[in-house]
Amino acid sequence: MRFFSSGKVYDFMRWRAFFVGLSLIITFGSIALLAMGKARLGTDFRGGTEIEVAFKGHVTVGEIRSAVTAGGFASPDVIKVDDPRNPDRYLIRVQEVSTIAHEVQEQIERRLCFGNKLSATECPPSKQATEVRFSPGGDKITARYNDEPDLAWIKAQASSVAGIHLHPGANNPHIQNARDHKVEIELMSKGDQLIGALQKGLGARAPDQALRSEWIGPRAGAQLRDSAIKSILIEIVFIMAYIAFRFDLRFAPGGIIALIHDATGSLGMLILLGKEIDLTTVAAILTIVGYSVNDTVVIYDRVRENLGKLRGASFRELINVSTSEMLGRTILTTATVQMSLLAFFIWGTGTLKNFAFSLTVGFMFGIYSTIYIALPATEWLDKVLFSRMGGGATGGSGGSKGSRGRPKAKRATAPA
């Protein structure tokens, strides 16, 4: 399939100054948005608890937020989920997590009579624990005693700690191991507490249980955020090494500048549109970088091929000829990918929909950056740096034309 006549050359570099300036605004604007904390970080990076619920009756965002706030949660995020089968389906996020703080753990240990310097009146020897453990998720406590434990006393002691809510049920706490006198106390997770707050505030319209419940601690969220940044940087470094090895050192910086532009520009656009930045977004950014470098490598390969065919041509002419020759291929490839993403965006839901949207934005940045970021940067490096070192692509200072004059721009070429 051919969209453009064979041999037609378009002067892409005519507008390079405008697009380079636009790209600088996009890149530094995106960095500024990130530095100012404008990014809407998801639970993956920020930490907190997230539940997805389907209500039994019609509710508004304001009603949900009021019910959650009345349950003791601060600044809840309420997001409507597009579901044709259930129009009252929502995501609810809070910053609180189920993990038990160290100070609260110390209070629980003292109430369960575990530790040193315990008064005999408060903790008689028959009630002193030999071990108290907390589950990583903060939803269970296990205690071990020398004598047969008093479950009613343990329940009252654990419930007296501020912020600790025991899971309702007649068998809580219960004996986990009668021989070792080991007791298990089940606590209500933050997801359970959110459901309880909704049931109290919304009555019959509230769900019986969550469709999905997830949580992540602030420390783990920070580690995930740092790992995401490192993964993107490592990918960019290895791609730079590949381009330098595959082509020439002069090609690598332009390709890397384009990749940084694509990653930051895509993030900036998602921030401006109010999209959430989470691990799915990071996966999309890594995919965008891989797609972008593929498109850049294809154009670079044609530029290198034309270096031998169009001797004496300026680097600008080489770029225009090479880009024009590959324009049909770029349009076909991009259109095919974008049609697939459009289907995911229209009929997908939740994470899949956000992933498709991120890729759509990023792939458009990738095509644009190949022509107006990677290639102009390579031309500038060839003119300013490599030609002074005697290694310019065209063999002349500043990439000027040689003795053979202008290339045959309208020569017959194989269809892209």
Query: DSSP of 219-286, one letter per residue?
Result: HHHHHHHHHHHHHHHHHHHHHHHHHHHHT-TTHHHHHHHHHHHHHHHHHHHHHHTT-EESHHHHHHHH
How high is the pLDDT of residue 338?
Answer: 85
How high is the pLDDT of residue 401?
Answer: 39
C-alpha span between 224 and 215 (Å, rounded): 13
Token output for 166: 């025991």
How high is the pLDDT of residue 406?
Answer: 40
pLDDT tens digit sequence for 281-320:
888 888 888 888 888 888 888 888 887 787 777 778 888 8
Q: Calculate the CA dihedral of residues 317, 322, 327, 329 and round it to 10 degrees.
A: 180
Residue 54: strand, helix, or coil:
strand
Q: What are phi and psi for residue 135, nearest 5 degrees?
A: -70, 150
CATH of 102-188, one of 3.40.50, 2.60.40, 3.30.1360, 2.30.230: 3.30.1360
C-alpha span between 329 and 321 (Å, rounded): 14
How high is the pLDDT of residue 410?
Answer: 43
Domain boundaries, the chain: 12-41+217-399, 48-81+193-214, 102-188
How high is the pLDDT of residue 7?
Answer: 67
The torsion region of residue 392 among left (phi > 0), alpha (psi -120 to 50) and beta comes to beta
How high is the pLDDT of residue 414?
Answer: 40
Length of the chain as a residue count: 416
- Other CB atoms within a 10 A radius of the CB of residue 140 amount to 17
pLDDT tens digit sequence for 339-364:
888 888 887 766 788 888 888 888 88
- CATH superfamily placement of domain 12-41+217-399: Multidrug efflux transporter AcrB transmembrane domain (1.20.1640.10)
- pLDDT < 50: residue spans in the chain: 394-416
C-alpha span between 23 and 264 (Å, rounded): 10
Q: Tell me the helix, strand and coil percentages in the chain, rounded to 5.
A: 55, 10, 35
How high is the pLDDT of residue 220?
Answer: 62
